[in-house]
Amino acid sequence: MKDVRVDTSDVDLMTTAQAAARLQVTPQWLTRAAAAGIVPSRRLGKYRRFTESDLAAYLDSVRDGGNAARINVIRRTPRSKAS
């Protein structure tokens, strides 16, 4: 397998917890929103990371009313009980 290296020296990556604090939401909400494609993010293996431009893009879309209807998509659905 080829070793691939990416230069990230000019990009500050934030963890889900850091980005959630920046947006003043819970990390769980941000994880669901990113998985649903509402908040831009990138996957690094099993980890999700955010950039300042990801958060700015999300905030711009909210200001423009673009994601207002999609916010309900990420509400937690109740788990079914095992029989």
Q: Where are the domains of the chain?
A: 16-72
pLDDT at 83 over 60: no
Q: What is the pLDDT of residue 1?
A: 58
Residue that wins the pLDDT comparison between 10 and 50: 50
Per-residue pLDDT, 80: 63
Residues in the chain: 83
- Note the helical H segments in 1-83: 16-23, 27-35, 52-63
pLDDT in tens, 25-65: 999 999 999 999 999 999 999 999 999 999 999 999 888 77
pLDDT of residue 29: 93
> What proportion of the chain, given as a percentage, has pLDDT over 70?
66
Residue at 58: amino acid letter: Y
